[in-house]
Amino acid sequence: MPMRREPALIALCRPQMKGMFGTSARQVSMTPPKKKAPAKRVQYAALPYRRKGKSPTEVLLVTSRETGRWIIPKGWPLKGKSPHKAAAREAREEAGVVGKINRRSIGSFSYEKRLKGGKVVVCEVQVFVLKVKRQHATFLEKGERKVRWLSRAKAAKTVGDRVLGTIIRTLPKRK
């Protein structure tokens, strides 16, 4: 009985030899092809905070529209707007807050977002600190979200993402 050679062995022994199924031995792979990881989509978020006198720092959280979980205001990039300005706009629309936003991100976190069609995409969210000067009583998404001020520690525990919680804890406790 003739000895049967495996395609991977053929590739190692005789690179020019034809494989079992008519493919050249150079094309035979020992491992299955890897699936390409889906590209991450980018979003920008504001981390709104305030300090009153000698009181501890407070962080503003909003609920997501779909699941009602507590998050920070975030959204998709806006054409013609820099990332930090897009984040500031999201804070104004989702929570009614305005103030001074840092130009540089203080960190990022990833999460899975379910799109309207049911497709899930991985989003990388760049976070920009927003020192709140005013909070308007009315704002674009007022009827769609709850808004709550919490201490740094409580806000870090309330958000479901461990990395976002760590970013929240980087804010100073007091002035």
Most confident of 3-12, 46-55, 121-130: 121-130
- Chain centre to alpha carbon of residue 8: 41
Token look-up 């205001």 returns: 73
Q: Using one digit for the tens of pLDDT, what is the confidence trace for 20-32?
A: 444 444 444 455 5
Mean pLDDT of the chain: 83
In a 10 Å sphere around its CB, with 0-12 CB exposed, 13-18 middle and 19+ buried, how is residue 61 labelled? buried
Tell whether 131 and 50 lie within a shared domain. Answer: yes
CA distance 114 to 134: 32
Residues 83 and 132 in one domain: yes
User: How far, in Å, CA of 49 to CA of 132, rounded?
Assistant: 6
Q: Is 143 found in the same domain as 119?
A: yes
Q: Both 152 and 69 in a single domain?
A: yes
Q: Give the strand pairing for 74-75 and 70-71.
A: unpaired
How far is residue 124's CA from residue 42's CA, in Å, rounded to a whole number?
Answer: 5
Q: Is 72 within the bounds of a domain?
A: yes
Residues 71 and 115 in one domain: yes
User: Does residue 174 sit within a domain?
Assistant: no
Count of the separate structural domains present in the chain: 2
Same domain, residue pair 16 and 92: no
In a domain, 91, yes or no: yes
Q: Which domain holds residue 122?
A: 41-169
Domain identity same for 48 and 8: no
Instruction: Assess if residue 130 is contained within a domain.
Output: yes
Place of tokens 């009985």: 1
62-115 pLDDT per residue, tens: 999 888 999 999 999 999 999 999 999 999 999 999 999 999 999 999 998 888
- Tell me, yes or no, whether 175 lies in a domain: no
**Neighbour count for residue 164 (Cβ, 10 Å):** 24
**Six-digit token string for 125:** 């969210």
Q: Is residue 30 part of a domain?
A: yes
124: CB partners within 8 A, 6+ apart: 40, 41, 42, 43, 108, 109, 110
Percent of the residues in the chain that have a pLDDT greater than 70, as a whole number? 77
Question: Is residue 158 in a domain?
Answer: yes
